[in-house]
Chains A and B, each alone.
Chain A
Amino acid sequence: MTDPKLDPQSTSPAPHRSPLAPPPSLSPNQRAWRRFRRNRSAVLSAWVLAAVVLLVIAWPIGLKLASFAGPKGAAFSQASQPDKLSDDQFQPPSAKHWFGTDVHGRDLLSRVLYGAQISLLVGIVGAGVSLVIGVLWGAIAGYAGGRVDSVMMRFVDILYSLPSIIFVIVLITTLEGVLKNWLTAIGSPSLGKSARLLFLFIGLGAVSWLTMARIVRGQVLSLRQRPFVEASRALGAGPARILARHIIPNTLGVVIVYITLTVPAIILYESFLSYLGLGVQPPMASWGSLIAEGADQMNPIRIYWWLIAFPGGLLVVTLLALNFLGDGLRDAWDVRGES
């Protein structure tokens, strides 16, 4: 039997450890998790994000339930529908409309929470798209090396020097044109509206993968020299297997950290596009389009502050939480790189 105090591999803590005994050794992930939990702003951010997501999911369900809960609940549910027009235009926040109402008398709280669905979804799916393209591109370029690598990375350089806004607009309009032809060909043009969202996902993901590809390539370049990759190759594993089993899993820490910082960037970009009128189409809303509507109504005579303050506030809180979370993860896993 080995003495746990002398065995550095032992993971089970000794039952009666003397104060001088070394602490039980932990895996790198366990140690990172410990560091993360000690980071108060990161943990708080995780809770804030969870609360926002929960609220966004619960609100439509709550409205639905309220419509069955007697006449009072039904009236509340009616008045709070995000697309319900009314004559109470530009009402400041009150007991009836907590966030006030907009130019068409719609309840702003509902619109902000419904808009949050779009903004969050775009952020997550867009980041997912950029993750898939960026990791594959970077891993293949880094692993293949040589001419393949330099051609692939020159391509990234070229895309970097295009103004991204032009690229996004070309992508979205091209996809839309293709889809419109296709939909009229099969005879169901009504799908077009929701397809717009799909283009946003693809377009935003397609401009956000460049940095990811660079980071992953750098990681792969150093990983592929490591002995365990050599060993796997000596055992007869092909490049696809080595990439999938050994290299990509090892880049995961960096990737996760970077992806938490990509989500807010994409949410910000989507709100920018919606602000320009290129994102979601009314009556659908996202945080960006709501802020744009608010900014349109601003004039020196009357300031409808709630139209900007509430969607803008929730946007900023969410982005803050995501950034703190990303910083916390980066510190915990001690990842260096572009911030």
Chain B
Amino acid sequence: MYFLKRLLLIVPLLLVISLLAFVLVRVAPGGPFDRERKPASPEIERQLKAHYHLDEPVWKQYLRYLDGLVVHGDFGPSLKYRNHTVNDIIAQGLPVSMCLGMLAFGFAMGVGVPVGYFTAIRRGHWEDYSGSLFAVLMICIPGFVVGPLLVMFFAIKWQLLPVALWASPAHAILPTMALGLYFSGRIARLMREGMLNTLQAEFITTARAKGLSENAVLLKHAFRLAVLPVVSYSGPLLADLLTGSFVIESIFQIPGIGVFFVNSMLNRDHTMIVGLVVLYATLLVLLNLLVDLAYVLLDRRVKYD
């Protein structure tokens, strides 16, 4: 029941967000046709604007847009790449970004969760210090430093992996690492903190007093609760990763959707921007809902009313 209500609440939220994006891009100075070949005659510009209905009042444009989106699932034509619709561009780029995003997510989880777990259970030992140092280091090195460094060593100096492009599984390794390392640091820190907090709980003492083996206590009882902060972080994290990364996609020349988040804004490609905002918001809201569902499954004490 609670989740049904949440699911229904998504609709007005998305409406507000799309309206906000729609108004924001029109408030920003500059129009989509400013960078046309100059001198564009005023007639041409007027024609273009009329063709894309940009001469109408904003509320009318928004209603027209909403009509297309809700009735036909149509994000409209791109104002920059005239021969493509926004749906085309998303359909081409999103699968690539999603693939890379899932790989990076798996990588970040695969590194972050074990590092966080072991640093917590070996608190104060050298494993803790080196693992924690690794985690902080990762969240301090931006992707545009890691990316070129990885390329410099693995691709140029040792010639082990391809420099860029998106063709074979080998091409995916460097971008996955460059994208995932930062988040592995974040996850490791969350996991460590969750584990340390859980280990102070009374039910852990009880479990130990019952004579359970240390492994059973840690893995069966503590881990399940300690992973909750990571789970709630993975909602926004996945929304970010699945919609691509500008930096990684431009460094490795990957034909994903991430570059459009910046470029469409620079080109004032209004329909593209609103389409991307709606896409991102939908993903984020749905993933957060999934996270809350996962909470109920992992922690029986959580009840929603």
Contact = CB atoms under 8 A, between A and B. Distances in A.
Interface of A: 157-158, 160-163, 165-167, 169-170, 173-174, 176-177, 264, 268, 271-272, 275-276, 288, 291-292, 294-295, 298, 300, 303, 305, 308, 312, 315-316, 319-320, 323-324, 327, 336, 339
Interface of B: 13, 16-17, 20-21, 24-25, 27-30, 136-137, 139-142, 144-145, 147-149, 151-152, 156-157, 163, 189-190, 193, 197, 243, 246-247, 251, 261-262, 265-266, 273, 276-277, 280-281, 284-285
A167 B280 CA distance: 13
B17 A162 contact: yes
Contacts of A174: 27-29
Contacts of B28: 169-170, 173-174, 177
A67 B156 CA distance: 42
A339 B142 CA distance: 17
Contact of B281 (A161, A167, A272, A291): A161
B140 A316 contact: yes
Contacts of A275: 142, 144, 247
A169 B30 contact: no
Given A158-B20, A173-B28, A303-B152, A276 B140 contact: no
Given A166-B21, A166-B273, A161 B144 contact: no
Nearest to B135: A323
B144 A291 contact: yes
A292 B144 contact: yes
A163 B280 contact: yes
Nearest to B26: A170
A315 B149 CA distance: 15
Contacts of A268: 140, 142
A323 B156 CA distance: 32
Contacts of B141: 312, 316
A339 B189 contact: yes
Contact of B156 (A272, A300, A320): A300
A323 B247 contact: no
A169 B265 contact: yes
A208 to B, nearest CB: 15
Contacts of B148: 294-295, 298, 308
B145 A303 contact: no
A169 B262 contact: yes
B136 A162 contact: no
Given A162-B281, A275-B247, A320 B136 contact: yes
Given A162-B20, A177-B28, A169 B151 contact: no
